[in-house]
Structure 1
């Protein structure tokens, strides 16, 4: 189960249950981190969420690498993996974020740790409904829909194309050995384009089956977290509420 911050009641409730948690460090807490939750199993500690030096979260960007390093040095003896979250990425990282992404990828490479990436075919589909078939986004296309002219790999679904674009971007900055964990993926049941219970069921069920085999670029199971367990009435976006 993934939580986005150390909520006291949420973390007291499963004490002793053997439920494994991915705990997020809130962006505003990067400068001063102190976490003590005995008898709770943490599967990952995700350092930040969707921070970028070129958007509204830019004030936190300079703290990322030092926060990762400090947490790593503090808990490395426990064997925990230290990772970093990124929003959706094209097949190359932008030049104006190189000073931010390059040292982070280098750190992950040196320590053998994965990169956590949020993968949402829904948003790509929503913005391209005129040129993209819904089946390509829902894993239901019966044939290859996109052929990569550079790698000669064929893509039957958008999820694989997004994940492999991140792998390609990592390759270009010396991160070919960095693994990927899909930290968020899902389909809303209401509030947007083609957001129905049926489509959410199709996407999530296909996602669960699909990630057992990896992507065209990298085979093997791909650890993936489905978003979300329940509706969130305090979200500002209608789509994210569902």
Structure 2
């Protein structure tokens, strides 16, 4: 079963963060596990102040922002929204391996906004693969940014990580207990860094792309959380999997264990379903996925039962100028650019 097809999101594109903030009454900052990614690759999106107001009016307490965009950071001041912030394009990684450049980046984009902006994680690189030219710069850049955070005395508030995707998993990672990374020389030192510094691993987890990449073996209900019973049984622990999201996440947990992080937390830094543009991409399916994901992440996975999963939905708006194929990439929004919700979603 080929579970590990990735979403093509190598750019700093910036899917938006916290989530369908329109009819919610229960997304308290302290209790919510779901955020929404805020991507800005659209030429028709609301002004920054309107975006933050939309988050706040809907009780959305967490956001992922893909680059330190000053108007967004200014609008976030005093909002109490917790933030994952990225460094922008992966091509920025090499420069940030330099200690002085990392210190300048932290001073300009973090220190000057804190504590008015509630930074939670810094994502140093997004979906960098072992064979990418930038791969050799990921860990050194993480170390430099972390050192700058320590120098600013913010290490207890802000954790430095990187966002991976499931293509780093070995093709033989099935069932979930067999999960392992295919490029241990790349990922193991990153896992060690995270363990040593008490930071989570950020992971972009997309059942949609796994489903469309293996239609013969993966049924739509399994991807949408609507299977009536167990679909996959893992002999280790006799764990039963009724949905693909859990299977993917537990496969990652098994891989992280083998990489030296048995207690390392995984934060799902992106997960979503498109409303048009490809196989299975409909408003009905997307609405079903988001609704069920929101309800599901409170309860954990078969491998980590009872442990709520910090999850960021991709994304706040459709992004009509995203320059990466396929067409589905432009249709992950929870809201249309006019701020109207696409789906009748609530938070429990």
TM-score bucket (shorter structure): over 0.9
Work out the CA distance in 1 between the residues paired with 2:146 and 2:297.
Answer: 28
* Superposed displacement of residue 125, structure 1: 0.6
Give the equivalent residue in structure 2 for 1:159. 245
Using the size of structure 2 for normalisation, the TM-score is 0.66
Give the equivalent residue in structure 1 for 2:165. 87
Q: Which segment is superposed worse, 125-134 or 30-39?
A: 30-39
Give the equivalent residue in structure 2 for 1:22. 84
Structure with greater contact order relative to length (CA < 8 Å, sep ≥ 6): 2
Unaligned 5+ runs, structure 2: 1-62, 97-101, 174-178, 332-348
Unaligned 5+ runs, structure 1: none
Q: Which segment is superposed worse, 3-12 or 139-148?
A: 3-12
Using the size of structure 1 for normalisation, the TM-score is 0.93
Of 3, 9, 13, which residue of structure 1 is paired with 2:75?
13
Q: Which segment is superposed worse, 228-237 or 182-191?
A: 228-237
Give the equivalent residue in structure 2 for 1:74. 148
Work out the CA distance in 2 between the residues paired with 1:190 and 1:98.
Answer: 36
Of 48, 53, 75, which residue of structure 1 is paired with 2:130?
53
Work out the CA distance in 1 between the residues paired with 2:137 and 2:180.
Answer: 23
What SS does structure 2 have at the residue aligned with 1:169?
helix
Give the equivalent residue in structure 2 for 1:227. 314
Work out the CA distance in 2 between the residues paired with 1:85 and 1:14.
Answer: 22
* Superposed displacement of residue 113, structure 1: 1.3
Work out the CA distance in 1 between the residues paired with 2:126 and 2:77.
Answer: 25
